[in-house]
């Protein structure tokens, strides 16, 4: 078996799955290159690109200066010139330094040029808390990006999605932002063939249920599944929906699960005010109001900068007990 190939049943981690996706993309298309701070010699700040510099060389795995605006802008320029750049930003907090490039250039050029200037750019970044990295490395701002028309926002929550979402993202003519929750990189599991491209258009039901819907994504998925397990011991059947794509939201999946269970808990590690949970709640109120048997519940982070101290960080983040409590309120 040559390097990079997946065995029939492979135990792997989320980090390794993402690395294999990058390796496949670099092998499949000479126009693809990876660019970002420390992605080369250091192997990426979370080790995702470890070994790719040695395999593909510095022309295709490029270390950049500490200037998010500059290297995201360079990625946009390369995409306009026909390349297929993958830009890595260390954390979502630092992406704000490139927000002008993402919002005012990547997301708008296709529309402002009357369809003449597509920007097939993929930007990967780490999001979320839970690793004691304090406020400037721990926030969940993907909901902000889901606000922006002209881009697609992905949140792979499983090893399979980490492995298979990159290829369709690269094939998308629009800019695609991929948010990788930092707590997932060490998650491991069996990755089974066949290696089919992931569906980046639709949400999916990770656990079927009949009494209440838990709608979530990314790093919160495992907590929602654990809460569903706990609720099942009490005879409460929870359906867990993984959004997978935050923009465009899969409205049909949201309305379908609410019509099925008639109760909803939305779990999101971002702040509650003006959040993705607020958008989903509004859509449920607009389109599924008469399906509801109870008010929609939201479980979000405390509205504070994420603390460094472990106990304070845990207190600020949505926990399994919080999700179970919200489900109890909804079920009554």
Please choose, from the candidates 247, 128, 117, 78, the residue with its C-alpha nearest in 3D space to the C-alpha of residue 177: 247
Q: Identify the pLDDT of residue 191.
A: 86
In the predicted model, residues of the chain with pLDDT beneath 50 are 1-4, 6
Give per-residue burial for 246-277: e unless 16+ CB within 10 Å, then b.
bbebbeebbbbbbeebbbbbbbbbbbeeebbb
* 287 in catalytic set: no
For residue 138, which of 8, 262, 307, 280 has the smallest C-alpha distance?
A: 307
**Residue 5: per-residue pLDDT:** 52
Domain boundaries, the chain: 11-191, 204-331
What pLDDT, on the 0 to 100 scale, is given for residue 3? Answer: 47
What is the DSSP secondary structure assignment for residue 52, as one 8-state letter?
Answer: H
Helix orientation angle between 320-331 and 221-232, rounded to the nearest 10 degrees: 50
Instruction: Determine the pLDDT at residue 244.
Output: 97
Catalytic residue among 16, 68, 160, 180: 68
Question: Does this chain's domain 11-191 share its CATH topology with 204-331?
Answer: yes
Using alpha carbons, list the distances in angstroms from residue 274 to 51, 141, 146, 290.
Answer: 40, 11, 12, 24
Going by C-alpha positions, the residue among 183, 270, 266 that lies closest to residue 227 is 266
Phi, psi of 47 (to 5 degrees): 75, 15
Whether residue 324 contacts residue 232, with contact meaning beta carbons closer than 8 Å, is answered with no
Q: Which fold has domain 204-331?
A: Rossmann fold (3.40.50)
Class of domain 11-191: alpha beta
Q: What is the pLDDT of residue 194?
A: 61
Catalytic choice (137, 139, 164, 262): 137
Q: Which class for 1: exposed (0-12), middle (13-18), buried (19 or more C-beta within 10 A)? A: exposed
9 carries an active-site annotation: no
Tokens (6 digits) for 31 = 């126009």
Nearest to 87 by CA among 22, 32, 20, 36: 36
């Amino acid at each position: 078996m040559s390097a990079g190939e997946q065995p029939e049943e492979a135990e792997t981690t989320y980090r390794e799955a993402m690395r294999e996706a990058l390796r496949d993309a670099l092998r499949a298309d000479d126009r693809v290159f990876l660019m970002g701070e420390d992605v080369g010699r250091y192997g990426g700040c979370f080790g995702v690109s470890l070994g790719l510099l040695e395999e593909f060389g510095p022309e295709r795995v490029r270390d950049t200066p500490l200037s998010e605006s500059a290297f995201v802008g360079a990625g946009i320029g390369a995409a306009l010139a026909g390349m297929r750049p993958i830009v890595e930003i260390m954390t979502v907090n630092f992406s704000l330094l490139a927000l002008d490039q993402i919002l005012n250039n990547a997301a708008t050029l296709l529309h402002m040029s009357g369809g003449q200037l597509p920007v097939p750019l993929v930007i990967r970044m780490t999001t979320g808390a839970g690793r004691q990295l304090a406020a400037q490395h721990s926030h969940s701002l993907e909901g902000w990006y889901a606000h922006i028309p002209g881009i697609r926002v992905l949140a792979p929550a499983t090893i399979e999605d980490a492995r298979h979402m990159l290829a369709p993202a690269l094939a998308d003519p629009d800019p695609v932002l991929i948010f990788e929750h930092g707590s997932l990189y060490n998650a491991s599991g069996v990755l089974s063939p066949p290696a089919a491209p992931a569906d980046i258009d639709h949400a999916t039901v990770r656990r079927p249920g009949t009494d209440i819907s838990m709608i979530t994504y990314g790093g919160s998925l495992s907590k929602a599944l654990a809460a569903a397990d706990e609720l099942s011991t009490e005879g409460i059947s929870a359906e867990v929906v993984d959004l997978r794509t935050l923009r465009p939201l899969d409205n049909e999946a949201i309305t379908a699960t609410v019509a099925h269970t008639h109760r909803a808990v939305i779990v999101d590690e971002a702040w509650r005010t003006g959040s993705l949970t607020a958008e989903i709640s509004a859509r449920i109120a607009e389109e599924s109001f008469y399906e509801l048997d109870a008010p929609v519940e939201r479980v979000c982070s405390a509205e504070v900068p994420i603390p460094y101290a472990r106990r304070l960080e845990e207190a600020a983040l949505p926990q399994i007990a919080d999700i179970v409590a919200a489900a109890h309120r909804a079920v009554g």
